[in-house]
Amino acid sequence: MKRKPLILLSNDDGVSAKGLRELIQCLQPIADLIVVAPDGHRSGFSASITSEVPLRCRKISEQEGLKIYKCSGTPVDCVKLGLHALVPRIPDMVVGGINHGDNSSVNVHYSGTMGVVIEGCLKRIPSVGFSLCNHDSDADFSPVLPYARRIVEEVLAKGLPEGTCLNVNFPALSAYRGVKICHQNKGVWVNEFAESVHPLGETFYWLTGEYETLEAETRNSDYWALKEGYVAITPTRIDMTDYKVMDELEHWNLCV
């Protein structure tokens, strides 16, 4: 009998999040799953790691083909610890999500879900992150699931080029117009803080903000695809080198 593929799952909304729970159900028929997820919210944790305190990790559930662990660390810590101590063999995939909220465009840099995916990719494992553009803790993930499963099946069948992972975002709609292969939209967050004053007088700042695209009309940016009702798949490199700029810098005067 052919062995099922093994997938390591994590997220940044925590082990109890609906998006993770629905993704588990969606992928259980096609893979053995090991879930190592944070014990609470870690949204916006990017690829952060925990070096100053030790990590705790506890198995909270086990059944045929599914083990679930909760971990005191960041999303990346979960992947690192899962690969180090909790998997019986190198997984066939690392999957992050389903995130409650948009990780397209520049949000890839802040996203804990994409932290999971980048860490999987750094470990040379085909890795994919799924995010729904809806922050509600009770968001409806049902339109996402058939696409998530199809994409995972395709990655299991075909692999991904080394050093490249997928950032997959879904619009907050009940149905999609199809799938677009996208590039990361260029844009900026503006008006990023709301000020409020503590009863004792100190000013506090809440992070908030609005995203402004700098290329509204560019077809096939992830921002554009989502706005048009498509599932946006953005292939994402872990090599951040700007090779085009290397030659130019060679001509700088950097002698001291």
Site for a second copy in 206-245 (CB under 8 A): 206-207, 231, 233-245
The residue assigned the tokens 């990780």 is 103
Q: Which segment (19-27, 30-38, 91-99, 246-254) binds a second copy by CB under 8 A?
A: 246-254
- Residues 119, 10 contacting (CB under 8 angstroms): no
Give Cα 231 to chain centroid, integer Å. Answer: 15
The residue assigned the tokens 């995130």 is 99
Per CB under 8 A, does 147 bind a second copy?
A: yes
If the CB atoms of residues 29 and 54 are measured against a second copy, the closer one turns out to be 54
- Least distance CB 39 / a second copy (angstroms): 14
Q: Can you give the C-alpha Rg of the chain in angstroms? A: 19
Stretch 81-100: interaction string toward a second copy, x if CB under 8 A: x--xx---------------
Per CB under 8 A, does 136 bind a second copy?
A: no
Q: Which segment (14-22, 30-38, 60-68, 80-88) binds a second copy by CB under 8 A?
A: 80-88
- Alpha carbon dihedral 64, 68, 69, 73, in 10-degree steps, equals 150
| Alpha-carbon gap, residue 256 to 240, rounded angstroms | 27
Q: How many residues bind a second copy (CB under 8 A)?
A: 83
Per CB under 8 A, does 204 bind a second copy?
A: yes
If the CB atoms of residues 186 and 229 are measured against a second copy, the closer one turns out to be 186
If the CB atoms of residues 41 and 227 are measured against a second copy, the closer one turns out to be 41
Burial of 211 from C-beta contacts in 10 A (0-12 / 13-18 / 19+) = middle
Residue by residue, what is the 3-state secondary structure of 86-150?
Answer: HCCCCCCEEEEEEEECCCCHHHHHCCHHHHHHHHHHHCCCCEEEEEECCCCCCCCCCCHHHHHHH
Q: Which segment (2-10, 13-21, 25-33, 36-44) binds a second copy by CB under 8 A?
A: 36-44
Per CB under 8 A, does 188 bind a second copy?
A: yes
Per CB under 8 A, does 77 bind a second copy?
A: yes
How many other C-beta atoms are found inside a 10 Å radius of the C-beta of residue 253?
A: 5
- Least distance CB 1 / a second copy (angstroms): 26
Give the one residue of 4, 18, 21, 41 binding a second copy; rule: CB under 8 A: 41
